[in-house]
Structures are given as structure tokens and as C-alpha cells.
Amino acid sequence: MPQKNNRQQNEYRCAIERTQNGKYCVRVRAVFRRRGWSLPVYFLASSFDRAMQKLAEAMQFLQHNEERLWFWAVDRSDDPKLVEELLGETGLQLDRRNEFPRRSTAVLVPAEKPVPPFLLSTLRRNLAPSSADERARLLAGD
């Protein structure tokens, strides 16, 4: 079976952390390989289930709007606030932090295709342990 060309796939590296006030901070670094650019975003959620639901919505939004986001983020750099407005429509915010958490998981999705449900369940399964570890660390007072 021939291997799919990685240049035609988008990579979503995802991490979840608990904030000091108990919210879940979900960070996503979307790498759009066809055009060779990446878009780091994040959002906050009140529960793990809501975080996973918003993650699914965010990934579908990023997949569906890749060209539009690229055009306004890279090609039209004279108005950098516009991409933030586009992201804000779905509750996403531009992540300006340089370092990405080590405990993260990644999935590859063919460009211009919807994110398959089995990949979302894989993300959920892989992110759940890091969420539990973070919760235990916060409860311990570290």
C-alpha cells in the first residue's frame, strides 16, 4: 500500500493544561504543510469534555478555513489583527508563546478533508492522562 504524501497532510499537535483557576487550556499548533506555515492557537474550557468538544470544532474550523487563514495571516500581513478576528469567531486565540508543552499528541489529517471521528477519539484518549497528571499536580500544590 503506498504511503500518503505528508505534504498533503496537516499536522495538529495538541496539549492540554489546567490553569490555576481550574480551567482547561487547550493549545493547538496547526502545521499546514502544503503552504509551509503554522498557526498556533489556544482556547479555554471549563471541563475536559467541553475542551474535547471545542477541540473537535477548532480542528474542523482550521481544516475548513486553511486557505482563508493563510491568506490573511501570511499574504496580507499589513493587517495582522484580521486573523485574530477570524479566529475569535470560533473562540480561538492566537498563541504567542514560543514553547510548546512536551506532553502533547499529534494527528495528521489530509488537507481539505474533515477530521475523522476516530482521530478525535485518539486525541481524547491521549490527552486524558496529561489532564489527570496536571490535575493531580495542582491539587498537590506544586
In a domain, 138, yes or no: no
Residues sharing a CB contact under 8 Å with residue 105, sequence separation 6 or more, in sequence order: 13, 14, 15, 122, 123, 126, 127
Task: Evaluate if residue 123 carries a pLDDT over 50.
Answer: yes
Across the range 133-140, mean pLDDT stands at 53
In a domain, 66, yes or no: yes
pLDDT in tens, 29-77: 999 998 888 899 999 999 999 999 999 999 999 999 888 888 776 655 5
Closest CA to 58 of 123, 130, 125: 123
In a domain, 85, yes or no: yes
Is this model's pTM higher than 0.85 or not? no
Predicted pLDDT at 36: 85
Predicted pLDDT at 3: 47
12, β-bridge pairs: 30, 107
In a domain, 50, yes or no: yes
Give the range among 11-25, 49-63, 89-103 with minimum mean pLDDT. Answer: 89-103
What pLDDT band is residue 90 in, cutting at 50, 70 and 90?
confident
In a domain, 136, yes or no: no
Give the residue numbers spanning the domain of 19.
Answer: 6-126
Domain count, the chain: 1
Predicted pLDDT at 77: 55
Pairwise CA distance, residues 19 & 17, whole Å: 6
Length reported for the chain: 142
Task: Evaluate if residue 2 carries a pLDDT over 50.
Answer: no
In a domain, 39, yes or no: yes
In a domain, 112, yes or no: yes
Report the mean per-residue pLDDT for the chain: 82
In a domain, 119, yes or no: yes
Sign of CA dihedral 74, 75, 79, 83: negative
Q: At what angle do helices 48-64 and 117-140 cross, to 10 degrees?
A: 140
